[in-house]
Amino acid sequence: MFAKSKEAIERAEALTKEKLDELELEVSKEKTKIVNFQEEDFDFLGFTFHHWRPGKKGNNQIFHVTPKKDSIKDFRLKIKEKTQKRLTLSKEQWINRVNPIIRGKVNYYTTVIKAIKTNEQYGQKSRCVTRWMRTILLSVDGYIRRRLRVAFIHKHPSQKKGMKMNSKWNNAFFVGIKLIPSYWLYLNKAYGYTLQDYLEELKSKSKQKVQRAIERTHEKGEEYYTPHRLQKMQNAWNASS
């Protein structure tokens, strides 16, 4: 329940308790608390609701919703359990081990989007923002790809790690072998985001990341494209071609 003051929420709490008593139900004290949403976050049904803060334009307050830290930790742990490098499997088998986990987690995370859309259908414009959710899922996707690269290398021990494998087994490669990116699946279910949109966005983010790195090295009076880096890039290109 939401209210504009502590007194109002306490009155609502009392009325709710009274009605539940009539139905011979009770509120769990362990799972119930009052928070000041201007300053405090709270957890509910596997999500963390982050307190009000100014929006980008500064006109309206917004709040972010993300999966609880325990949920993301569990997500990564389940992926880790399914990508033990002691196993020697085909790429298709590895993908089949992790995709069900990704689908299950993302299907639950999209309940936030469904709630937002339902509210809008009833004329209630939501000030809930899911941008942080996307950032978290991008990070999880990177973790999944790293785990799979290590698993692939175990089957091909002659392959070297590092830039070569990041280039050879890149984002497009994983999409090609039907790994489900959690970031893409989330936005696809929410807004019809396509795999092509996903690859183009990641390509753009990668270019921006390199550009920022170049600017930082130049600020230090150093050169970004050193002979050593250029050689590594050439080796990676050869490995992926």
What is the pLDDT averaged over residues 84-108?
Answer: 95
What is the pLDDT averaged over residues 205-226?
Answer: 93
**27 located within any domain:** no
**20 located within any domain:** no
DSSP conformational letter for 29: G
Domain count, the chain: 1
**228 located within any domain:** yes
Q: Residue 193 belongs to what domain range?
A: 35-240
What confidence tens digit (pLDDT) does each residue in 166-193 have? 778 899 999 999 999 999 999 999 999 9
| Cβ pair 62, 78 in contact under 8 A | no
What is the pLDDT averaged over residues 89-104?
Answer: 97
Reduced to 3 states, what is the DSSP secondary structure of residue 175?
A: helix
Count of C-beta atoms within a 10 Å radius of residue 192: 8
What is the pLDDT averaged over residues 139-168?
Answer: 78
Q: Which of 177, 79, 184 is nearest to 137 (CA)?
A: 184
Most trustworthy range by pLDDT among 6-20, 100-114, 159-173: 100-114
Tell me the whole-structure pTM to 2 decimals. Answer: 0.85
* pLDDT number for residue 168: 81
How many angstroms from the chain centroid is the CA of residue 93?
Answer: 24
**39 located within any domain:** yes
What is the pLDDT averaged over residues 220-238?
Answer: 83
**19 located within any domain:** no
Count of C-beta atoms within a 10 Å radius of residue 166: 16
**23 located within any domain:** no
What is the pLDDT averaged over residues 50-74?
Answer: 90
Q: Is the pLDDT of residue 241 over 60?
A: no
**95 located within any domain:** yes
Tell me the CA end-to-end span of the chain in Å, nearest whole number. Answer: 58
DSSP 70-119: HHHHHHHHHHHHH--TTS---HHHHHHHHHHHHHHHHHHHTHHHHHHHHH
Q: Is the pLDDT of residue 198 over 80?
A: yes
**10 located within any domain:** no
